[in-house]
Structure 1
């Protein structure tokens, strides 16, 4: 009997573990045993699946297996399986398991299965953007799952409190971090800019706490609330130790983050059928220095508006204000080169509708400034009011007012009166004899144009002069081949070629000859003489 007892004791000491140890017999900490019935679910879990499925990316590239979705049934596993799977995740951030984490896993795998299926499809486009920003900053790549909790991968998501975008920035947080938010632009919606800013903010928070769960919690509720919870807990600096001192909406934030990591890795084990994509979408970014409406790009390049809006969600009114500073435009790679080739056509396309006036004169007040001139333009075949207005830098509305037009219909051969303040400053006033002349009288700052004989030229320039003084303009004696000249002020981005394209029959060589230019270089503000060909 004594030998039997000794053998038994020896075997126990030599082989302390028989089979597998029951999980319930392990020493458990707060993170393992914690449960909470009062947590507030993230608003992303309330996301409308139908609105996500209607997004531009999924409409164009999604492959949805309806049979798989309808027949898919979740499989629940014992706690030991979840513990093992979470421990096997290739993450830097700790992924512990408890009943709160389990409750979020259940939400994603049972009640919100369709949401997960859709987010997996969206991740094909957004995750590379997140990973690039995280990799550049040297942060754990598993942080890319935070926007799942924040916004359900919707760049246009807006919370009840006003937090906006994939990373859900409040305006008060976004602006100090360098994101631009105004009537035209909301960079919180820009996937690239908001991701770069979120990564920088997360890095700052980690430098404060040197603990990722605390940094993630402070991203949700702010460092002030986390610091308050640390003080109330007696100075403890473990998320699970200060759990009950955190705001209710933040208590479930880290568990939801752990559950998101789990479900995005193990969705197949729960029979979740992802919305797959047909082809990966490659995009290029172009720098824009002009004011352009997305509709101009859509019409000229024949790109769907919802695609342009999806790629550029930061432009709230579909306007790219590149005239204020350089802006970015994201386009499918195959359309990027087409945009560069057709840029001038895009900028000028329906400019009378999408352009913005920088100066404007009240109706009936054009001549009271005393520094303008009238130009008479004879309409050519195929010209429209918008083309003529764009040529002279005026609005269609003013053209109609000056010429008493009830609509935009004009016929070839009609003469239109155009007021140009610039020409008045640049066109010399001198008397030149010509049979076909125009008399101009300036009286009480009001211009009156009286033709002594029908003007046969397409365009004649009339300059204001003092009272009772007559002038006429005629063929330039130095250049007998040309009857009239326009004067053009060079603006940013213009070249001799782009200017020549605005005036029929004018070439770059002709411009160089008329203006005595030895090269094609131009300066902003330079005045060029444009002959009427």
Structure 2
């Protein structure tokens, strides 16, 4: 024990001395903490043995990331790229994971235990397709993170926190309404001077949100002087960490206070360590990078007047989906810039010269339509919606099935999509399998629609006078009086890839025909109506 204490004291002294040296030298000084493993002997049982499987929390987060509108439009994937060769998926001995973690240059301690191993296997085995998408996004976002972390003299490995926070989805929104790559709550975002309004939400701005996150992490480190506790506090707040420390007799080690922390936070540091592992050793697990379908090389322009994304897209042929992907902070495709309050526009680098050359034409294009009297018209007043009065109507309950969308459901019950949204508080057409929807039909017609909920898709189509036939190519097509075909969304599809299957059809045509609204969200199994040309 004396020798152990002496070694610890020497390590602490070395670390304190190193803090006054260059940052890169700091990051090379680390040891790895092995916390009570079954497969390794000889380690003193100093810490609790965290053997929880907390994968469900983060599996749900990364699953929702892959199905989001942003990811489906930022990537062109197909079923073949998402196929997993099970013969190449293996579980490794603990000693291999430890050796690899030890080789990572990290100032943040990359401990190893069973909970960390569970997360590594989640990333490398059960959520491989999502990780391959995150690898592609990392090529775009990590340089942004690293520049900001360097500015505040913070460990570079903190960039992996964004994987745990948002799965690198800049428009991610949690159930608690935390938003963006770094999942800022409204109050914390305001405290760190992020603009959050009708048209701009800087929690979704990769640069400004990262800068705010870095300042927040710096403030937390001043409190705890321990990166594990800082990472935990970022997730659950300093109050919860302080309570865990107090209830643990003043201990200031993450693994010692582990079971005093909220369940999600108990998984947060292990998930962070596993993310660091997989981002450094993905190739050893036969994981391959899927690059986003927006430009990785960009430049920024300063805008000093109101500007709509459509004005840019229609004048210099930049897909509006690319503008949204590169500028996720603008919530309604509008940059509300003024001469005394400019905003940044990020563009594909090859289009910057075109923007400069045609700047006057871009700002003048359909100006009266987008900004009458040179003002931003209140979106609510432009399209005020008055829902159907439900007094005296028959109420039905429909349970959402795989492949359903609001367009189909509205047809089956002969109701408006806008009414379905209003009755069920649906945002951006997003529905989930198993969700129960309230539907109101004219009085006396409830019996006519009462069996719809129990019908198969083919039966529901037949109920509306439509026939369904097999495609034989992995999906199905349904014909409607020869005017339409129905395409079944397959895993990896997005609006771009689907439109390419139908010459003459655009993303906007699919959105309009299926009532997808501005979000354009689609899900595997969903059936889309495509107009024949």
Output the TM-score relative to the length of structure 2: 0.60
User: CA offsets per residue over residues 46-101 of structure 1, 9 Å max, x none?
Assistant: 33434478544433xx7997397446631111111111111111111101110111
- Shift of the 136–264 alpha-carbon distance from structure 1 to 2, 3 Å rule, reads same
Q: Determine which of 147, 160, 166 is the counterpart of 2:181.
A: 166
Is contact 2:294-2:322 (8 Å) kept?
Answer: no
Provide the residue aligned with 2:254 in structure 1. 239
Q: Determine which of 324, 335, 338 is the counterpart of 1:309.
A: 324
- Shift of the 326–53 alpha-carbon distance from structure 1 to 2, 3 Å rule, reads closer
- Shift of the 245–269 alpha-carbon distance from structure 1 to 2, 3 Å rule, reads same
Unaligned segments of structure 2, at least 5 residues: 1-37, 377-533
Instruction: Report the CA distance between 1:130 and its aligned residue.
Output: 0.8
Provide the residue aligned with 2:240 in structure 1. 225
Q: Determine which of 354, 359, 364 is the counterpart of 1:343.
A: 359
- Shift of the 308–67 alpha-carbon distance from structure 1 to 2, 3 Å rule, reads closer
Partner SS state of residue 229, structure 2? helix
Is contact 2:294-2:325 (8 Å) kept?
Answer: no
- Shift of the 344–359 alpha-carbon distance from structure 1 to 2, 3 Å rule, reads closer
In structure 1, what is the Cα distance between the partners aligned to 2:295 and 2:369? 36
Q: Determine which of 47, 55, 59 is the counterpart of 2:64.
A: 47
Deviates more, 1:282-291 or 1:40-49: 40-49
- 1:332 aligned onto 2:338: no
In structure 1, what is the Cα distance between the partners aligned to 2:311 and 2:375? 23
In structure 1, what is the Cα distance between the partners aligned to 2:323 and 2:246? 49
- 1:180 aligned onto 2:201: no
Provide the residue aligned with 2:441 in structure 1. none
- Shift of the 320–136 alpha-carbon distance from structure 1 to 2, 3 Å rule, reads same
Q: How does 1:493-532 map to 2 (within 5 A)?
A: none
Q: How does 1:202-217 map to 2 (within 5 A)?
A: 202-217=217-232
Is contact 1:220-1:253 (8 Å) kept?
Answer: yes
Q: How does 1:111-510 map to 2 (within 5 A)?
A: 111-276=126-291, 281-323=296-338, 325-357=341-373
Is contact 2:220-2:230 (8 Å) kept?
Answer: yes
In structure 2, what is the Cα distance between the partners aligned to 1:46 and 1:120? 15
Deviates more, 1:126-135 or 1:351-360: 351-360
In structure 1, what is the Cα distance between the partners aligned to 2:122 and 2:343? 41
Provide the residue aligned with 2:503 in structure 1. none
Partner SS state of residue 75, structure 2? helix
Deviates more, 1:24-33 or 1:72-81: 24-33
Unaligned segments of structure 1, at least 5 residues: 1-21, 361-533
User: CA offsets per residue over residues 461-515 of structure 1, 9 Å max, x none?
Assistant: xxxxxxxxxxxxxxxxxxxxxxxxxxxxxxxxxxxxxxxxxxxxxxxxxxxxxxx
Deviates more, 1:23-32 or 1:164-173: 23-32
- Shift of the 117–133 alpha-carbon distance from structure 1 to 2, 3 Å rule, reads same
In structure 2, what is the Cα distance between the partners aligned to 1:240 and 1:92? 17
Across the aligned residues of Structure 1 and Structure 2, the Cα RMSD in angstroms comes to 2.6
Provide the residue aligned with 2:525 in structure 1. none
User: CA offsets per residue over residues 240-296 of structure 1, 9 Å max, x none?
Assistant: 111011111100000000000111111122222322479972111111110111110
In structure 1, what is the Cα distance between the partners aligned to 2:293 and 2:175? 35
User: CA offsets per residue over residues 277-319 of structure 1, 9 Å max, x none?
Assistant: 7997211111111011111011111110000010111110111
- Shift of the 238–327 alpha-carbon distance from structure 1 to 2, 3 Å rule, reads same
Is contact 2:88-2:286 (8 Å) kept?
Answer: yes
In structure 2, what is the Cα distance between the partners aligned to 1:180 and 1:35? 41
Provide the residue aligned with 1:481 in structure 2. none
Is contact 2:48-2:256 (8 Å) kept?
Answer: no
Partner SS state of residue 269, structure 1? helix
Larger RCO, structure (CA 8 Å, separation 6 or more) = 2
Instruction: Report the CA distance between 1:117 and its aligned residue.
Output: 1.0
- Shift of the 155–35 alpha-carbon distance from structure 1 to 2, 3 Å rule, reads same
Instruction: Report the CA distance between 1:147 and its aligned residue.
Output: 1.0
In structure 1, what is the Cα distance between the partners aligned to 2:310 and 2:346? 14
Is contact 1:31-1:98 (8 Å) kept?
Answer: no
Partner SS state of residue 292, structure 1? strand
- 1:74 aligned onto 2:89: yes
- Shift of the 39–269 alpha-carbon distance from structure 1 to 2, 3 Å rule, reads closer
Provide the residue aligned with 1:392 in structure 2. none
- Shift of the 176–277 alpha-carbon distance from structure 1 to 2, 3 Å rule, reads closer
Is contact 1:185-1:315 (8 Å) kept?
Answer: yes
Provide the residue aligned with 2:514 in structure 1. none
- Shift of the 273–64 alpha-carbon distance from structure 1 to 2, 3 Å rule, reads farther
| Equivalent pairs, count | 338
Is contact 1:39-1:249 (8 Å) kept?
Answer: no
Output the TM-score relative to the length of structure 1: 0.60
Partner SS state of residue 105, structure 1? helix
Partner SS state of residue 91, structure 2? coil
Is contact 1:292-1:320 (8 Å) kept?
Answer: yes
